[in-house]
Amino acid sequence: MLSVRPSRALLETIAGLAYPRHCAVCEAPLRAGRVLCADCRRSRTRLEGARCATCSQPFGGALEPGFRCMNCGDLQLSFDFATSAYRSRGAVRELIHHFKYNKHLHLRHLLGRMLREGFGDARVRSLGVDGIVPVPLHPTREREREFNQSAVLASVAAEGLRLPVEDCLRRTRYTSTQTHFHREERFENLAGAFALRRGVDPSGRHLALVDDVLTTGSTADACARVLKDAGAAAVVVITVARG
């Protein structure tokens, strides 16, 4: 007799079209609908323990409350603090790489949830965030990549947080890849690379600037400066991972 209900095998085939059937990191076979195998899920490194109160750079051992690292002590950073739930290591770094550069867009659900975990930081909760601002890409870069990873992750994270995504910023200058620059050069290279979109008024707002990874903080600093100069009361930086 012909069954009118789709078989489990058929459902798994359909799910397999949207979600590859192998772990996104180690390629171990998976049940349909999963993205990571149990080992890779567990191996994601959490950002925990003592860290800089501003940039979240971890340090071994005990630190004074409110400790700031030397880098943050030297710089007048524009954001209030940066936080993440994960470190950009191993499985987490690979996930972000596959998403961003190999265009594995199905990873947005997992990475968006990991970004949302960053909003669980006690300081973020006590501050109270009222809008999420993605880091913009220059239009030329967005055409090359075909999507803005920050905007995609912001919209996934925003769903569960019931916060609006506010596309406040635009990138005015195309900056080449920064990897060959020293820390100070990165900050100088990005100064003035972002501007407020027309008609946007962030005055008095508590905004969360979101991105995939925070490394030196130069991009986040340049974006936060624009928001603060326009009157934002607080800008915190929340990323999927801390480099």
Q: What are the residues binding Zn ion (CB under 5 A)?
A: 23, 25-26, 28, 37, 40, 52, 54-55, 57, 69, 72
Q: Where does 14-106 show beta strands of DSSP type E?
A: 81-87
Q: Which of 80, 49, 48 is nearest to 62 (CA)?
A: 49
Nearer to Zn ion by Cβ, of 27 and 185: the residue is: 27
For Zn ion, the closer CB: 37 or 163? 37
Q: How far is the CB of 68 from Zn ion (least distance, A)?
A: 6
Q: CB-wise, 39 or 201, nearer to Zn ion? A: 39
Cβ closer to Zn ion: 58 or 131? 58
Output 166 or 221, the one with its CB closest to Zn ion. 221
Distance of CA 210 to the CA centre of its chain: 5
Rounded Cα gap, residues 219 and 123, in angstroms: 22
59 neighbors 51 (Cβ within 8 angstroms): yes
Which residues, 6+ apart, have CB-to-CB distance to 25 below 8 Å? 36, 37, 40, 91, 94, 95
| Residues paired with 209 in a beta bridge | 133, 237
Task: State the CB neighbour count (10 A cutoff) for residue 208.
Answer: 28
Q: Measured between alpha carbons, how far is 136 from 195 in angstroms, rounded to an integer?
A: 10
Residue 103 CB, shortest distance to Zn ion, in Å, is 20
> From the CB of 61, what's the least distance to Zn ion, in Å?
16
CB of 29 to Zn ion, least distance (A): 10
Long-range contacts of 157-160 (CB under 8 A, 24+ apart): 157/112, 157/113, 157/115, 157/116, 157/119, 157/132, 157/210, 158/132, 159/112, 160/113, 160/116
- Which residue's CB is nearer to Zn ion, number 23 or number 223? 23
Nearer to Zn ion, 52 or 237 (CB): 52
Cα dihedral 210, 181, 226, 79, rounded to 10, equals: 60
Q: Closest approach of Cβ 76 to Zn ion, in Å?
A: 13
Q: What's the min distance (Å) between Cβ of 36 and Zn ion?
A: 6
Coil, helix or strand at residue 207: strand
Compute the least distance from the CB of residue 12 to Zn ion, in Å: 19
